[in-house]
Amino acid sequence: MKVIAIGGGTGLSTILRGLKGKNLELTAVVAVTDEGGSSGKIREELNVPPPGDVRNNIIALAKVESLMSKLFSYRFRTNGSLSEHSVGNIILAALTMMTGSFAKAVRYASDILAIEGKVLPVCEELVRLKAIYSDGSTVVGETEIAKKTDSRIVLVDLDKKVRALDEVLSDISQADAILLGPGSLYTSVITNLLVDGMAEVIGENKRAKKIYIANIMTQPGETIGYSLEDHVYEVERYLKVRLDYIVANRTLPPKDVLESYAKQGSEPVLPRGRVDERYIFQDLLEITYEANDPRPKARHDPHKTAEVVIDLLGGRSSNEK
């Protein structure tokens, strides 16, 4: 079964980790509008697409114990020009400059790690996300969008027209299932749907099951105050077709985790009222801790989430409301 997973960095790599090894033909389609951290610096200084989200997903499909996988993940923590850069980002940037193609660079890096499946950038051009807010302001760039918390997003678009890679469009047209998320609603998921050809080819593939994996928590700068239905409405608005299934977490994080998120203005993504039979509620929660960040993170458990998706692909109901 051919499965296309569309998203950005952390969320998409989570579902890929759960799905690999499940006898699926996996393709990850990854956003290229990231501007933060190491990716942002490489994008600005070398004029190449941001490699970080792509790197995360290549690593997700690699063998966990692989030395090369660990090398791609290694991040310099010392002071100096390499501070906070990951080796994988530098390799991808070098390969892009050597070959003149970000897509070729991703392919070569995937070969180096002998990944299970395929990772593709949605396009090769340097492009930025822009958001228009309810107060009439316009903000350009993912980093700046994440900072604005005093107004609600009413529209997102790209700063120029770009077309998706032919290979991306071809793979989507042949897919048996198309997964959207988990990941930041606008900056990881919807940003891909703004690329010319993406929404159209997804809509034209009538056979494929279209599954949205909703976030566990709202995000400052993007979805403060959004209900589960708000997330679904926005995805379908840009997708221009109705989703077949919405997979959502039903388990609240522990009190201390909720309090930590509340300090950032973030809360659980919950339904506002009764929802239809497309909504699948399961315990998907995993609490994780990241290096150099003491705050607990409410993430999707990759294996629990993958099992729900596999049940849906097999036609078995996972609905336990």
Q: Which residues of the chain have pLDDT under 70?
A: 65, 315-321
The whole-number pLDDT of residue 64 equals: 77
The whole-number pLDDT of residue 186 equals: 97
Question: What single string gives the DSSP state of each residue in 119-152?
Answer: EEES-SS---EEEEETTS-EEESHHHHHH--SS-
Q: Which two tokens stand for residue 59?
A: 């690593």
Question: What single string gives the DSSP state of each residue in 147-213?
Answer: H--SS-EEEEEESS--B--HHHHHHHHT-SEEEE-SS-IIIIIIHHHTSBTHHHHHHH--SSEEEEE
CA 63 vs CA 8, 32, 60, 110: distances in Å:
20, 24, 8, 11
The whole-number pLDDT of residue 63 equals: 83
Give residues with Cβ within 8 angstroms of 305, minimum separation 6: 14, 15, 18, 182, 213, 247, 284
Q: What is the 3-state secondary structure (H, E, C) of 260-294?
A: HHHCCCCCECCCCCCCCCCEEEECCEEEEEECCEE
**Neighbouring C-beta atoms of residue 218, cutoff 10 Å:** 22
Q: Which two tokens stand for residue 89?
A: 């980002």
Closest CA to 111 of 65, 61, 155, 149: 61
Contact of 109 with 58, CB cutoff 8 Å: yes
Instruction: For residues 31 and 49, give the distance between their C-alpha atoms in angstroms, rounded to a whole number.
Output: 10
Give residues with Cβ within 8 angstroms of 159, minimum separation 6: 127, 128, 129, 130, 140
Question: Cα torsion for 111, 25, 11, 161, to the nearest 10°?
Answer: 80
| pLDDT, tens digit, 9 for 90 and up, residues 69-118 | 889 989 887 777 787 789 999 999 999 999 999 999 999 999 999 999 99
Contact of 27 with 4, CB cutoff 8 Å: yes
Closest CA to 310 of 215, 211, 228: 211
Q: What is the reported pTM?
A: 0.94
SS3 for 98? helix
**DSSP structural state of residue 18:** H
**Neighbouring C-beta atoms of residue 127, cutoff 10 Å:** 19
Domains along the chain?
2-243 (3.40.50.10680)
What does R_g of the chain's alpha carbons equal in angstroms? 19
The whole-number pLDDT of residue 164 equals: 98
Instruction: For residues 236 and 55, give the distance between their C-alpha atoms in angstroms, rounded to a whole number.
Output: 28
The whole-number pLDDT of residue 65 equals: 65
